[in-house]
Amino acid sequence: MTADGYTKIVDRKKDMILVSGFNVYPNEIEEVIASHPGVLECAVIGVDDAKSGEAVKAFIVRKDQNLAAEDVIKFCGTQLTAYKVPKQIEFRTGLPKTNVGKILRRELRDEKKAAAA
């Protein structure tokens, strides 16, 4: 809450990704990626893209260390419309979470902005 009594929302507004004018819901893509047997957990954000405005980027913690980005993209391509398929994949050993275990997409977006600066 601000000093003048207003509540400020600092997360979730930007969760939706806008790809070429289409609304893309991260949860839908995350469900598909998480259903891959080689994936332990994942998160999806929108990143700047010169062609489509935003593109889908997936952060993945592997269950199978042999899992490759191409495997994930191909898997998603069989279950999602083309504009929803991640254009970028980043493998990690863990994802930022709240103290109750919810993934913090905001931190992933902030990391991306800091790296671009």
Look at residue 5 and tell me if it is in a domain. no
Look at residue 2 and tell me if it is in a domain. no
Look at residue 89 and tell me if it is in a domain. yes
Residue with the two structure tokens 């889908």: 56
Per-residue confidence (pLDDT) for residue 110, from 0 to 100: 87
CA pair distance 5, 23, nearest whole angstrom:
33
CATH classification of the domain holding 42 = 3.30.300.30
Look at residue 4 and tell me if it is in a domain. no
Mean pLDDT of 9-13: 49
Look at residue 33 and tell me if it is in a domain. yes
Residue 29 domain boundaries: 17-116
pLDDT tens digits for range 19-77: 999 999 999 999 999 999 999 999 999 999 999 999 999 999 999 999 999 999 999 99
Question: Considering its fold, how many domains does the chain have in total?
Answer: 1
pTM score, whole prediction:
0.85
